[in-house]
Amino acid sequence: MRQITLNLFLLLSAFCFAQETDLQLKNISDTLLNPKRILKVSDPLNGEKTMQKLFPGNLYHLADKNTFISWKCKSCKPSPFLDVNGVEGDQMFPYTEGVATRLIANIDYSDSKGNQFKILAFNHSVHDEDGLQTGRFSGGLLGIAKFAKNDNVWEMRSFQPAVAAFGAFARCPTPKLVEIGEDQFAFTLIHANGGAGGAYEGYLYLVAGFGGQYQPIMEVNNYQLTNSSFISWSGSYKIVNDNSKKHFRDIIITTKGTYNIKARTEDDFDVEFPEEIATMAKNKKSFSFEIERRFSFKGKFYKMLDKPIVKFSNIK
């Protein structure tokens, strides 16, 4: 009996190991990536199962909650999509080596009339035989599907398999819903990256529907800085609800941080300071700071208005 149990254990272990090391690509039709395709899902909508309907490849559940769909589209013609890292150029999607697609957000919201919506956000990365995501300066390619509830059915209203790539190591940061106008919803993402051992600088991006598709319409630098012992900062945003704009309302970005040159270690890399505090950093040993910037939508993109408002405290 003990021998039978041992053999069963070894068989299951071998099977699990094979599942984690022998990942297969499934070819899908290019028609499945058509942004005008129709999809209806019964309530309740399951994010993982819906992802499989959108990208019907092979589904894998690996360790550490590493769940993804592995697929390839031999008949697809890859198109370029922006990677905000700007190091390796645009990403050509679908990837000729194959694609790994992961569900990164399942967002529910309602408008002022009580209509219910659901947003599924996906992360695409190049297929890896071990189910890994690699490349320090390779972002995760964001995809979006929007559903509206009609009685007991969720109907897909918009489908954009790929928008743009954000983040490091092929991992797109989780998008967060924000209302930027009257029943106008968009997403914010904090893109953070940096060299090995150095500081990670974070940018704030706003992705919204514009011109018939989702696209980045705001980029804010100096939003976040981590992994530095002598200086750091973090940002927050606020939508200006002054009723003067029905859509694409102004956005106020506030960045707060601290500087202390005495805390710098030999392992610290140089940091490029925001220009608003650069002079103070040359003349003072430590201080706290707050930078307020206002952005307004102009044409196709948000642009900063006037000059930033800067406040210093705890100066030594």
On the question of pLDDT at 1 being above 80, the answer is no
Give me the percent of the chain exceeding a pLDDT of 90.
83
What's the chain's average pLDDT? 92
Nearest to 83 by CA among 221, 3, 235, 193: 193
CA 106 to chain centre: 13
pLDDT interval class at 106 (50, 70, 90): very high
Amino acid at 104: I
Specify the range with the lowest mean pLDDT, choosing from 25-34, 194-203, 250-259: 194-203
pTM of the predicted model, to two decimals? 0.91
Q: Coil, strand or helix: which one is 200?
A: strand
Our measurement of the distance from residue 44's CA atom to the centroid of its chain's CA atoms, rounded to an integer in Å, reads: 25
Cα distance between residue 48 and residue 170, in whole Å: 20
Q: Residues 113, 5: contact at Cβ < 8 Å?
A: no
Residue with the larger pLDDT of the pair 171 and 15:
171
Give the DSSP H or E segment for 186: strand 184-193
pLDDT at 2 exceeding the cut of 50: no
Residue 280, phi then psi, degrees to nearest 5: -60, -40
Distance between CA atoms of residues 35 and 157, nearest Å = 10
Over range 98-116, report the average pLDDT.
97
Residues in the chain: 316
Alpha carbons 172 and 139: distance in angstroms, whole number: 6
pLDDT at 91 over 80: yes
Identify the pLDDT of residue 17: 41
The answer to whether residue 143 scores a pLDDT higher than 60 is: yes
Pick from 18-22, 108-112, 255-259: least confident = 18-22
Q: Does the structure show a pLDDT above 90 at 19?
A: no
Task: Flag whether pLDDT at 191 surpasses 90.
Answer: yes
Q: What is the pLDDT of residue 11?
A: 44
Query: What is the pLDDT at residue 211?
Result: 87
In this predicted structure, the answer to whether residue 171 has a pLDDT above a threshold of 90 is yes
| 20/62 Cα distance (integer angstroms) | 6
Rg, C-alpha atoms of the chain: 23
CA atoms within 13 A on the CB side of 83: 27
Name the token pair of 146.
């929007």
Average pLDDT over residues 91-96: 98
Distances in Å between the alpha carbon of 106 and those of 13, 117, 146, 310, 314? 33, 11, 10, 37, 42
Strand partners, 165: 83, 141
Best CA proximity match to 256, nearest among 302, 178, 312: 312
Residue 53 pLDDT more than 50? yes
Section 128-142 average pLDDT: 93
Structure tokens at 83: 């990677």
- To which residue do tokens 């914010």 refer? 188
Residue with tokens 């996906």: 122
Assign 21 a pLDDT band (cuts: 50, 70, 90).
Answer: low
* Residue 8 pLDDT: 44
Residue 149 reports pLDDT greater than 70: yes
Nearest-angstrom CA–CA distance, 240 and 223: 18
pLDDT value for 235 = 97
> How far is it, in rounded angstroms, from Cα 41 to Cα 282?
59
The beta strand positions in 211-285, using DSSP E, are 213-226, 231-239, 251-260
Q: Which two tokens stand for residue 316?
A: 């030594």
Residue 243 has pLDDT above 90, yes or no: no
